[in-house]
Structure 1
Amino acid sequence: MATPTIPETSARQLLSDEGFDRVVHLVMRDNDGVDEPVAVRIVDEALKFVAAAATTTGRHLRPSKTVDMGWHALILHTAMYRSLCASLGRFVDHRPEGPETLRRDADTLDLTMDAIRDAGYEPDAYLWGPLADAEIHAGDCMHSECTEGGSACTAPPAA
């Protein structure tokens, strides 16, 4: 895999190169149409989210649906995820929302992006914005559980 250009506010350094690559490949494998540059961005945002959640107390944080793809890929690498959380000082549990809480609250995403900034990172606005949290069907950029053909992702370049 080619080494992608990582912005200065990246959380990429929280994993080894090999570990980061494994998580990126899992995002691409499990999410049809997500190409490598977008998967790199998703994993970087998932790392920022975990760093913010590990260092934040008293705030309800949640990833956008798009960033959640990266968080799930991190969690599936259990030993790496456990080590990541230990290095951040606190294990970040995954608590899936039930059907009664599927309504997404944009204010919670804003609070999460503020917590990411407080943790020393700048969130990738495209992956946290309204489109990243909408239920979008195949051909659009985002993950959707109800599309038979999966999803395609052609996100604009990182700022």
Structure 2
Amino acid sequence: MSTPHPVPPPCTSKQGDPKPAVTGTTLLAPVTPRALLTDAQFNGVMHTVLDNNPGMEPEPAGRIVIGALAFLAVAARTPQGLVPSRVVDEGWHALILHTHLYQALCMGLGGFVHHVPERPDPGARSHGDVGRTVAAIEAAGYSVDADLWHGPEDSPITVAANCRHSGPEGPIVIIPKPKGRQ
């Protein structure tokens, strides 16, 4: 039986750079968001995106997962709520479905980031909310894939995700690590 999708290339960090993967409770700072997961973990999440989006090619699915990892890495350390684009939300949904991986990833990044969906309403999410999130991701030192960060009505990539998230006062809640836990 053949694999339905080719395996993406390994992490883009240089040889000798740490490749922190979710194996313990504390993660080292990654060189790239992709370095947060092992190849097997990344492929599992990417295949979830592919399964939820029939006809999508592996290349954009991998980019979506990387965008979701960057979003999550910053959201776990940001006290004010951040808002994913609809495309990045697809990758976030895929991460969440891998519950053990997601929990370990959040705790290693600084705090559990809850996903509380709201009914879709393109008029309720402004480009400013997405722009503020992009700025936070860039300020954290991550590159932003501009094709993934459009408003809900003008994205060049079509995904199945069909929920929205509020601005800074919204439903994304970060629960920090309990004291004494590393």
Q: Give the AA of the match of 1:142.
A: T
Q: Does 1:110 align with 2:110?
A: no
Whether contact under 8 Å (1:66, 1:142) holds in the other structure is yes
Q: Deviations over 1:62-101 (max 9, x none)?
A: 1111111100000000000000001101111101123568
- Number of matched residues? 140
Query: What value does the CA root-mean-square deviation take over the aligned residues?
Result: 2.4
The TM-score normalised by the length of structure 2 is 0.68
Structure 1 unaligned spans of 5+: 147-159
Structure 2 unaligned spans of 5+: 1-5, 14-30, 163-182
Specify the alignment match of 1:22 in structure 2. Answer: 44
Q: Give the AA of the match of 2:39.
A: D
The structure with the largest alpha-carbon Rg is: 2
Q: Give the AA of the match of 1:89.
A: G
Are residues 38 and 134 of structure 1, via their aligned partners in 2, closer, same or farther at CA, if it must alter by over 3 Å? same
**Residue from 61, 79, 86 that aligns with 1:65:** 86
Deviation of residue 10 (structure 1)?
Answer: 3.4
Q: Distance in 2 between matches of 1:123 and 1:103?
A: 23
Q: Give the AA of the match of 1:4.
A: P
Q: Does 1:3 align with 2:22?
A: no
Q: Deviations over 1:83-122 (max 9, x none)?
A: 0001101111101123568622100000000111122201
Q: Distance in 1 between matches of 2:161 and 2:85?
A: 14
Q: Give the AA of the match of 1:30.
A: N
Specify the alignment match of 2:77 in structure 1. Answer: 55
Q: Distance in 2 between matches of 1:81 and 1:97?
A: 21
Q: Aligned ranges for residues 8-157 of structure 1 at < 5 Å?
A: 10-58=32-80, 60-98=81-119, 103-130=124-151, 133-134=152-153, 141-143=157-159
The alignment partner of 2:50 has SS state of helix
Whether contact under 8 Å (2:52, 2:160) holds in the other structure is no
Are residues 64 and 25 of structure 1, via their aligned partners in 2, closer, same or farther at CA, if it must alter by over 3 Å? same
Q: Give the AA of the match of 2:157.
A: C
Q: Distance in 2 between matches of 1:37 and 1:5?
A: 13
The TM-score normalised by the length of structure 1 is 0.77
